[in-house]
Amino acid sequence: DTAVSQTPKYLVTQMGNDKSIKCEQNLGHDTMYWYKQDSKKFLKIMFSYNNKELIINETVPNRFSPKSPDKAHLNLHINSLELGDSAVYFCASSNLGELFFGEGSRLTVL
């Protein structure tokens, strides 16, 4: 039973399109995150939610909008996709300490 699952695993789309990535965790954690991993493997935090409330919002373009319908779910919607958005997006959850990551969603913008 996967602890943090995200869908889809792969996304290939054209510039200007809108896309969403979904994330669910079954660990009962209060905090969920979105991280972006670029082509050089650098992991950068984008957003963090604690019990459905946004607590961290890094300098991310407002084309990126997270939504947390409940504390087990954190979705990421991206509008007007650009070439530079191509990356692997990781969802993670934690409860005071260890981060549990999903397997990532590889987004390719053509």
Binding site for another protein (CB under 8 A): 4, 31, 40-45, 48, 50, 55-56, 90, 92, 94, 96-99, 101-104
**95, β-bridge pairs:** none
- Shortest distance, CB of residue 67 to another protein, whole angstroms? 20
Q: How far, in Å, CA of 91 to CA of 11, rounded?
A: 15
C-beta closer to another protein: residue 40 or 70 = 40
What 3-state DSSP class applies to 69? strand
Q: How far is the CB of 64 from another protein (least distance, A)?
A: 17
Strand ranges (E), the chain: 4-7, 10-13, 19-25, 31-37, 43-50, 53-57, 64-70, 73-78, 87-94, 99-101, 105-109
Rank residues 3 and 15 by Cβ distance to another protein and give the closer one.
Answer: 3
Q: Which is nearer to another protein, 15 or 55 (CB)?
A: 55
Residue among 14 and 59 whose Cβ is closer to another protein? 59
Residue with token string 């939504």:
67
Give min distance, CB of 5 to another protein, in A: 11
